Amino acid sequence: MKRIIGILLLYFLFTAQTVPQFPVSNLDLKYYLPEEYKAHKQNWAVIEDKRGILYFGNTIGVLEFDGHNWRLICLPKNAIVRSLAIDKKGKIYVGSRGEFGYLKPDSIGKMIYVSMTDKI
């Protein structure tokens, strides 16, 4: 019996070391309602740029979130954004059904969508 207890004790000591421990109480999580970000409730993809800005692939476009403000970046034909990717230089690519492109800053630094669909 002592041997079984010893084996179980060793097992739990070693497995407890390999399981990551996340202090849930230190996470700063906030749930945002669609009414707050003023877009559809379905979000399909998420990516973060080098500045810490979050981009969400939403049913009605790309949502941009800087930690305080939400902004919708629309695509042609109100395409559903299903995928987002970022390259090593920080360019964000956007994919949807029948549409493909990327985000780039305009003359005042606001991100806009540039379609590449006609180049495919």
| Average predicted confidence (pLDDT) for the chain | 86
User: Helices marked H in 1-120 — which ranges?
Assistant: 2-18, 34-37
User: Which single residue is written with the structure tokens 């919708």?
Assistant: 72
Place 119 in a pLDDT band, splitting at 50, 70 and 90.
confident
- Residue 99 token pair: 């549409």
Q: pTM of the full predicted structure?
A: 0.76
Cβ neighbours, 10 Å, residue 38: 12
Which residue ranges form the domains of the chain, and what is each CATH number? 35-119 (2.40.10.500)
pLDDT digits (tens, 9 = 90+) for 18-52: 555 556 566 677 889 999 999 999 999 999 999 99
CA dist 33 and 1 (Å) reads 55
pLDDT of residue 65: 96
Upper half-sphere CA count for residue 63 (Cβ side, 13 Å): 24
The pLDDT > 70 percentage for the chain reads 78
